[in-house]
Amino acid sequence: MTTPDDGRPSLYDVLDHYGWSPPGERGGWSSVKCQVHDETRASCRVNYDLGVVRCMACEFKGDVYTVIMHHEGVEFREALTIAGELFNGTDTGARGRAKGRTGRERSGRTTGGGTAYIPPRMR
């Protein structure tokens, strides 16, 4: 899919990479199964025009970098680097990587730990 003019990777490409099975790019809000809490019914909404996702069940919300940060277990600067490496073929400027992060599987799970997202109602 297309990359936005602001240099961010396409929301569709990021969701697809992390196994979200995103709906095709079209205007407005579309439903998708949330991969943050591994649901069976589509309670998450995607808006490609705004470049955001929002789950009505677990309250996960954000843009492409939020999705990368969640799946990779990294902070924003590292998410910028990962986005550049995975989706643009370039490094976007952030340097370094947390020790122990040696590779990423198709599912987006890292091989070196990280913290899992816990929905607010389950904390």
Q: For the stretch 61-87, what's the b/e string if a residue is b when 16 or more beta carbons lie within 10 angstroms of its beta carbon?
A: eeebbbbbbbbbbbeeebbbbbbbebb
Look at 54 and 122; give whichever has higher pLDDT.
Answer: 54
pLDDT at 119: 54
Q: Give the pLDDT confidence of 8-64 residue by residue, as tens digits.
A: 899 999 999 999 988 888 888 999 999 999 788 899 999 999 999 999 999 999 999
pLDDT at 91: 45
Please give the average per-residue pLDDT across 67-87, as a whole number.
94
Question: Domains of the chain by range and CATH?
Answer: 11-93 (3.90.580.10)
Confidence check: pLDDT of 122 > 70: no
Confidence check: pLDDT of 80 > 50: yes
pTM as predicted: 0.68
